[in-house]
């Protein structure tokens, strides 16, 4: 059944959309050349030099708006969220990503993200297959909202980045149990010939609603991340195995395999900087390599609601850091830490 035109990703959009199956992004049926919404105002391939990195946002629209405002104030050109962004479009019908898209386009600050453990991987992998990519390889989920898949690499102002999202959910057991219960209930309803609502049809199709079996980095994804080439900045959701924050409720055996995958990449690539979220706790650490190099690790707190609920500080100012990328140094690992939330890194380009 063809439905009426879908709500556009932005009021500025000139293109025509129609709704696809529930939980999937709308399909564009006609593209208007020069559309101010779909032609991303700031392409990350066009020389970003200052970016605001943020910890988990968990679908908190107000917090993401606050981060966009903070980016403007700090004269950063984009916001990059380090996982648990809030891709739960199957439950909120895309309200969060629509709202973020609208605000991002209005302020011309793209919002980029890598996946955490609480992001819908079924949708992300579908989008990976059929959504447009910008020249840096980010996948445009909606106008101004870009997704960075595992092992994705790009260069900003001579600084070489790689993202590697994912983590183990410490509350996996009850989430899996919950999904199984819902699935069983929906199955019984279907057997009786009752009609199913959109959410019920969704879980019948995918079998997952609050927990995703793709949440951890797979061996193939790790191999892909370890491919040749240097990395100056590694962006992850989970922590590397070797960092030792003084507070960590995710230091249990089930979490270690994913953390070790990140550690393998740190050991092989010796990035100068690693930024991550997931712990909902801000800390800094230095990891030393046998050759004398060091990796500066910085973890960021999350949105205030989830932060204070999980033992974090609840302080929004601990939920972001600003990185300035400067070209022209021969030593790609040159880093200057200016204050707790600000640092600059010199790339090899220029």
Q: Pick one of 84, 179, 200, 232: the residue that binds Zn ion (CB under 5 A).
A: 84
Q: Quote the CA–CA distance of 148 and 162 in Å, as a whole number.
A: 9
Indicate the residue among 110 and 166 with the shorter CB distance to Zn ion: 166
Q: Which one of 25, 94, 110, 116 is in contact with Zn ion (CB under 5 A)?
A: 116
Q: Which is nearer to Zn ion, 9 or 116 (CB)?
A: 116
Report the site for Zn ion in 172-231 (rule: CB under 5 A): none
With left for phi above 0 and alpha for psi between -120 and 50, is residue 249 left, alpha or beta? alpha
Binding mask 152-181 for Zn ion (x = CB under 5 A): ---------------x--------------
User: Which member of 57, 61, 117, 236 binds Zn ion (CB under 5 A)?
Assistant: 117
- The DSSP code sequence of 237-303 is SSPPTT---S--TT-SHHHHHHHHHHHHHHHHH--SEEEE-SSS--EEEEEE-TTS-EEEEEE----
Work out how close the CB of 285 gets to Zn ion at its nearest, in angstroms, rounded to a whole number: 18
Token pair belonging to 179:
């999904």
Strands across the sheet with 153-156, in order? 153-156, 159-164, 233-236, 273-276, 294-299, 283-288
Name the segment binding Zn ion (CB under 5 A); options: 5-13, 144-152, 191-199, 270-278.
Answer: 270-278
Contact pattern from residue 43 through residue 62 relative to Zn ion, giving x for each residue in contact according to CB under 5 A and a dash for the rest = -------------x------
| Measured distance CA(92)–CA(96) in Å, rounded | 7
26 binds Zn ion (CB under 5 A): no
- Strand pairing class (283-288; 294-299): antiparallel
Candidate segments 93-101, 109-117, 128-136, 341-349, binder of Zn ion by CB under 5 A: 109-117
Q: Which residues bind Zn ion (CB under 5 A)?
A: 56, 84, 116-117, 167, 278
């Amino acid at each position: 059944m063809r439905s009426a035109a879908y709500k556009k990703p932005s009021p500025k959009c000139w293109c025509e959309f129609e709704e696809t199956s529930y939980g999937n992004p709308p399909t564009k049926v006609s593209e208007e050349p020069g559309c101010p919404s779909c032609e991303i105002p700031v392409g990350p391939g066009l020389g970003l030099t200052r970016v605001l990195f943020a910890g988990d946002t968990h679908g908190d629209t107000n917090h993401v708006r606050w981060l966009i405002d903070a980016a403007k104030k700090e004269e950063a050109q984009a916001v990059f969220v380090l996982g648990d962004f809030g891709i739960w479009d199957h439950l909120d019908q895309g309200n969060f990503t629509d709202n973020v898209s609208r605000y991002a386009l209005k302020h011309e600050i793209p919002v980029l993200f890598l996946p955490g453990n609480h992001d819908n991987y079924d949708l992300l992998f579908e989008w990976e297959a059929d959504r447009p990519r910008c020249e840096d390889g980010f996948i445009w989920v909606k106008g101004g909202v870009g997704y960075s898949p595992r092992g994705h690499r790009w260069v900003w102002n001579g600084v070489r980045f790689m993202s590697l999202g994912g983590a183990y959910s410490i509350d996996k057991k009850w989430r899996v149990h919950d999904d199984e219960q819902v699935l069983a209930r929906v199955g019984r309803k279907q057997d009786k010939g009752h009609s199913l609502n959109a959410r019920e049809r969704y879980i019948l199709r995918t079998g997952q609603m609050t927990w995703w079996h793709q949440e951890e980095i797979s061996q193939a994804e790790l191999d892909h991340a370890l491919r040749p080439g240097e990395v100056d900045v590694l962006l992850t959701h989970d922590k590397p195995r070797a960092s030792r924050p003084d507070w960590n409720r995710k230091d249990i055996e089930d979490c270690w395999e994913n953390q070790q995958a990140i550690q393998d990449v740190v050991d092989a690539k010796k990035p100068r900087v690693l930024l991550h979220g997931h712990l909902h706790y801000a800390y800094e650490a230095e990891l030393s390599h046998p050759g004398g190099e060091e990796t500066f690790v910085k973890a960021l707190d999350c949105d205030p609601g989830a932060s204070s609920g999980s033992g974090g500080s609840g302080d929004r100012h601990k939920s972001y850091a600003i990185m300035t990328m400067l070209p022209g140094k021969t030593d790609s690992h040159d880093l200057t830490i200016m204050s707790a939330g600000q640092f600059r890194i010199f790339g090899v380009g220029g």
